[in-house]
Homo-oligomer: A and B are copies of this chain.
Amino acid sequence: MSLRYALLALLRVGPLSGYELQKQFSMSVGHVWHAPDSQIYPELRKMEAENLIEGEEQPRGQRATRRVYHVTEAGDRAFLEWMQTPLEYARVRDPAHLRAAYLEAASPETARAFFRRHTEQWEAELAQWEGELHRIAQVDNPMLVRRLAVTDPADRERTIAFKRFTYEGLVDRAHAEIAWARRGLELIDSLESEGGAGPVPNGPEPSAARA
């Protein structure tokens, strides 16, 4: 259900074609809610069928057309209503922590590879999110600029503040995941160096800098 609200959020700024929307999507809200074009086009059709948006065929060249969508009043209302409904949280389903819980079944090298991959993954996300944070600070994201242009001056600060705050949270999360992976590598080292020297059941963390 979130996809349609992500789409409405973009369309509320102004009309866009499916293609434009899909491009804007990947450069803005796609950083928190990924969706491929094969999902976006059908969803737009469904939203149109439900009168949340309206599409207008526009000629393009001689033969081709494109469909430009704009939000209807019902769509605007639906978005605002969604903002007011309590968010539904998905049940935990975390493949990385699932695997981490059973790393004793892997060799130290395999376990290290896992944590290196985890670091790599989250560093890539971090780069995306930090980039976005930077573009927000510089007011240098095309979608954000368009949004501010149609926003009451009194609300511009809030608009920017919530975007920044969102990406700060994501950046923090990425840092936390990377730190966890680093501690994981340290844990493997310490388990290896201890070797068969007997268990240390409830000893302190090897070198994990946790409060």
Contacts and interface: CB of A to CB of B under 8 A. Distances in A.
A88 B118 CA distance: 10
A2 B101 contact: no
Given A6-B98, A210-B172, A156 B199 contact: yes
Chain A residues touching B, majority SS: helix
A180 B170 CA distance: 10
A32 interface: yes
Interface of A: 2, 5-6, 9, 29, 31-34, 79-80, 83-84, 86-106, 110, 113-114, 117-118, 121, 125, 137, 139, 151, 153-163, 165-166, 168-170, 172-173, 176, 180, 183-184, 187, 191, 194, 196, 198-202, 205, 208, 210
B83 A169 contact: no
Nearest to A199: B157
Contacts of A9: 101-102
24 contacts: A2-B95, A2-B98, A9-B102, A32-B101, A33-B92, A33-B95, A83-B102, A84-B110, A86-B113, A87-B99, A89-B95, A97-B166, A100-B166, A100-B169, A103-B162, A104-B155, A104-B159, A139-B201, A154-B196, A157-B201, A158-B191, A162-B187, A168-B205, A172-B176
